[in-house]
Structure 1
Amino acid sequence: MPSDYQSNIDLAENVSLDPLAVGRSRCMANIAFSAGSIILSNSSFIDILLPSEKGHRCDHCHNLSGIGSLKRCTGCASFYYCDHTCQSKHWKSGHRKICKLYNTYISAASFQALEEHKKMDALLLSSLIAHLSSVDAKERDENTAFLTFQSLLPGPMTTSAPPICPKHSFTAGVIDGFYSRFENNNFSIHSHFNTYAHGIFPIASRLFNHSCMPNAAVKFIIQVHKPVKLEIVALRAISKGDEICIPYIDPALLQTRTTIFDLTYGFTCSCPSCNVIRKVGFIPEPPKEPVRFQAVCERLREFVGVMGLSPFLTGDDSLFPTELTCVLHESFISTLSEQFSAASHDGRYDVALESSSSLFALYQLIYPLNYPQIGKCLHLLEKAKTCWNHIVRSTSTMEVAAELKNSVVAAKQILTVIGHEGDHDDGPLAEIETLLLEVETYD
């Protein structure tokens, strides 16, 4: 196995697995973690870039360099590297088993017939087999990452593995066994919360269960010449003895999450959020008439403004008003998002800010504290940009200026918890710092 792979954590000191009679073990905190603490730091075992990122990022370390500045593999002309160091490491870790076969493989009818997400699985599985075929069997079978990967629970779907690229000595049964752990144990690797690759991180998959109201989240660190690193970050204070959970899917998938859990992961989620949704029962569509829709938005903002902790965080469904059940319909969040985006684009900033306030209220209701990806802080950043455009392009009020300042300060506070992630040259934190300077200038 590559010498770059490290678990980088003393599991006996920081966290431990609490075995259960039924179901997966629980990852328990052996020490107290404050918000922003790094619970786990773990380099990737296997990873692959999305096709759209080919030529933009190094295939070994994922450094973002742009077309023309990376060195192309002379053997297949389909993989790109920062320099000879990255190319050599990638070659030794498995690319040499794929290089001459890769272009024939991806152009074959059997590969092209696969659905897009299955193509990614096929490429990741091919990289795994190429990697395992590149190391000594004894070294492979004693490696912590590989042993942990083999211990992962297979998914509920029993399908044969797709065709793979490298020649190998594994039996079809072994390959199918590897593949059975793919869909429910892979990670989408993101930078600035935008997915650009997929990867296998066996220790993180083994340790952390899911919650739709998690107390921890995943981020990724890109370092030149090194495999991408996954970090588990505490979103809020975690006491010693608490279970540490991460989200497997977007918590905003309020209606479809149960089906996803059943088909992809094979479990029924019993987190506080899912318990409330089950008790709510039938979720009606939101009203289509603009006046009635706006009335629901006003009621939502009013409720969230006085609710304290969200019922979806506490699990107390008695705190959730029955007249707001329609906001749990997945079309409600998409409608608000479209209204906000369209109004911002068209320069109707007052309409955009009203939609933004309703959307943020919904995020406060359904997302956990300090959730970074597509919820609170990134929306706050977009709201702050809209406020700024409103100020510089129209006659705005002091209330808009105050809303700008509040939004950008709140966005920074939440993003500071998650810290820098992915590419370090730009991103949300840099945008926030720029907006803060503009706010100071305006003041």
Structure 2
Amino acid sequence: MRDLEAILKTSSVRIEPHLIARDQATTRSKIKAGAVILSIPSLISALLPDEKARRCDHCSKRPPLSQQLRKCTGCSAYWYCDTTCQTAQWKLHHKFICKSYQGFVSSNLYQSLPAHLKLDSLLLSHFAAYLAGAPTEIDKALSPSNIFLSLLPGPVKSVEIPPICGKKTTLTKERLGMLYARFGNNNFAIHSHLTTYGHGIFPLASRLFNHSCLPNAAARYIITGGGTPVIMEIVALRAISEGEEITIPYLDPALVQSRQQIFKFTYGFTCSCPSCQSLKGLPAQPQDSEAPDDESRNRLSLVLREFSGITSSANMVLHYGLPSSIPVDLCAVFHEGFLTKLSEAFAEASHEGHYEKARDSGLSILALYTVIYPQNYPQIGMHVLELAKTAWNAIILSGSSPELEQDTKNFLTRAERILEVYGREGDEDGPFLEIQTLKALLNDAQ
């Protein structure tokens, strides 16, 4: 722990003992909402297959329409912004797998893997190649790779190691197994505007921050280009008091039914955060086949909106977290199928131009989000922005009206307020550009 304290001595984070977990990251002083708590560069990353040739394999940047990525002439499978990114990744790990890559990914061994194991295979290949190029890394106690090895392995004792690309490696099968045993419970999904485009290893983040389903912080990802790999920033979602533990979500808190099972089999712990404690006191939810039908869902949606106080765009005083007392007939909203069906209804009504239906289902989603998610959680802001776009589309389809203009303005104001706390991440376009565009259109219409 002293070694970690040496790393963190210039940050706002310190390490303290924890009653249940290994230890905890707490604040040295009060942190404001929206403040960056820690910036952590990725050690290794890998793009999802659909993102190959659309993003730089090194820095994750998407080129503008007027430019094209440069293809590696050795393997014709890795793409880069320019020679700066290509050279940086070549030195980092690509030189050890370039010549072998095409033969590896076309092999029966690789092709027979499920999609998630293919990504793990490439990520592990990058890691092994990185260590082949940095043999002294193993001798440094505070090196990123050794911090990663200091993490607790997943709960599954026997894990079959996926095949790796490249012949040169300094790692024994035992050490590869030690690395891979920590993949499932320590890797991060890297996203832009909350849409996943790859996976990455951020050892310091994995080592420092415990999970909560009502976290006070969250990870966002900064893409800068210029040979710099993607950077994770841990940002405060609300004001955090001095000495308070900093927590982040390991998975989507909206997985209210399945979250404990995921924690047990992927992470090896039982979550006892305030959200899980409140859900524990509710009646057990039925299986998917017994999820609320359409009529019941419509009734529950009305009760949910009335209960939460979110009945219109003008009435969005958001109260976050599960209340101490929930009516028994409202417990069915915590069936995961309830949110899924609401989201489908919202998307369908928005697409077909049924604004009132879209607004009602959208407000029901917002009401449920405020119960499930913590204050200023980015998914809330993104959803309210979708409500604003839906209201604006109704203006385009049916003509302007004071009610529609006010709905658009109210939703837009709320979305901006929430997303400003989380801040900008990922690609240069996204929600903030959409907000500014909608503001300009709304001003022109008035």
Cα distance in 1 for residues equivalent to 2:299 and 2:19: 48
Cα distance in 2 for residues equivalent to 1:377 and 1:71: 36
Cα distance in 2 for residues equivalent to 1:308 and 1:345: 27
Q: Name the structure 2 match of 1:206.
A: 207
Aligned-residue offset at 1:57: 1.1
Cα distance in 2 for residues equivalent to 1:40 and 1:62: 20
- The answer on whether the counterparts of 1:286 and 1:327 sit within 8 Å (CA) in structure 2 is no
- The answer on whether the counterparts of 2:141 and 2:147 sit within 8 Å (CA) in structure 1 is no
Q: Does 1:418 align with 2:416?
A: no
Cα distance in 2 for residues equivalent to 1:215 and 1:221: 20
- The answer on whether the counterparts of 2:33 and 2:421 sit within 8 Å (CA) in structure 1 is yes
Q: Does 1:191 align with 2:189?
A: no
**Residues 31-430 of structure 1 aligned to structure 2 (within 5 Å):** 31-65=29-63, 69-137=68-136, 141-157=140-156, 158-167=158-167, 168-224=169-225, 225-284=227-286, 285-290=290-295, 292-305=296-309, 309-312=319-322, 317=324, 319-372=325-378, 375-395=379-399, 397-424=401-428, 426-430=429-433
TM-score scaled by structure 1? 0.92
Cα distance in 2 for residues equivalent to 1:248 and 1:223: 25
Cα distance in 1 for residues equivalent to 2:126 and 2:395: 51
Cα distance in 2 for residues equivalent to 1:185 and 1:107: 28
- The answer on whether the counterparts of 1:28 and 1:241 sit within 8 Å (CA) in structure 2 is yes
1:369-400 residue CA offsets vs partner (Å, 9 max, x unmatched): 1000xx31111111111101112211565333
Cα distance in 1 for residues equivalent to 2:59 and 2:179: 24
Aligned amino acid, residue 439 of structure 1: L
Q: Does 1:441 align with 2:444?
A: yes
Aligned-residue offset at 1:21: 5.4
- The answer on whether the counterparts of 1:28 and 1:244 sit within 8 Å (CA) in structure 2 is yes
Q: Which runs of 5+ in 1 are unaligned?
A: 1-6
Cα distance in 2 for residues equivalent to 1:61 and 1:442: 40
Aligned amino acid, residue 14 of structure 2: S
Aligned amino acid, residue 49 of structure 1: L
- The answer on whether the counterparts of 1:191 and 1:421 sit within 8 Å (CA) in structure 2 is yes
Cα distance in 1 for residues equivalent to 2:54 and 2:142: 32
Aligned residues: 429
Q: 1:13 to 1:393 in 2, by over 3 A?
A: closer
Q: Name the structure 1 match of 2:313.
A: none
Aligned-residue offset at 1:42: 0.9
Q: 1:37 to 1:351 in 2, by over 3 A?
A: same
Cα distance in 1 for residues equivalent to 2:40 and 2:161: 27
Cα distance in 2 for residues equivalent to 1:276 and 1:138: 45
Aligned amino acid, residue 359 of structure 2: L
Cα distance in 2 for residues equivalent to 1:423 and 1:311: 30
Q: Name the structure 2 match of 1:3.
A: none
Q: 1:282 to 1:104 in 2, by over 3 A?
A: same
Aligned-residue offset at 1:83: 1.3
Q: 1:437 to 1:152 in 2, by over 3 A?
A: same
Aligned-residue offset at 1:137: 2.6
Cα distance in 2 for residues equivalent to 1:403 and 1:422: 28
Q: 1:142 to 1:24 in 2, by over 3 A?
A: closer
1:254-276 residue CA offsets vs partner (Å, 9 max, x unmatched): 00101100010000000111111
Cα distance in 1 for residues equivalent to 2:132 and 2:359: 56
- The answer on whether the counterparts of 2:254 and 2:372 sit within 8 Å (CA) in structure 1 is yes
Cα distance in 1 for residues equivalent to 2:342 and 2:366: 10
SS of aligned partner of 1:280: coil
Answer with 65-74 or 222-231: which moved more.
65-74
Cα distance in 1 for residues equivalent to 2:138 and 2:95: 19
Q: Name the structure 1 match of 2:314.
A: none
1:219-262 residue CA offsets vs partner (Å, 9 max, x unmatched): 00001121110000000000001111000100100001011000
Q: 1:130 to 1:336 in 2, by over 3 A?
A: same
Cα distance in 2 for residues equivalent to 1:71 and 1:311: 47
Aligned-residue offset at 1:409: 0.5
SS of aligned partner of 1:24: coil
Aligned-residue offset at 1:309: 3.7
Cα distance in 2 for residues equivalent to 1:296 and 1:97: 57
Q: Name the structure 2 match of 1:14.
A: 12
* Superposed CA RMSD: 2.0
SS of aligned partner of 1:190: strand
- The answer on whether the counterparts of 1:8 and 1:41 sit within 8 Å (CA) in structure 2 is no
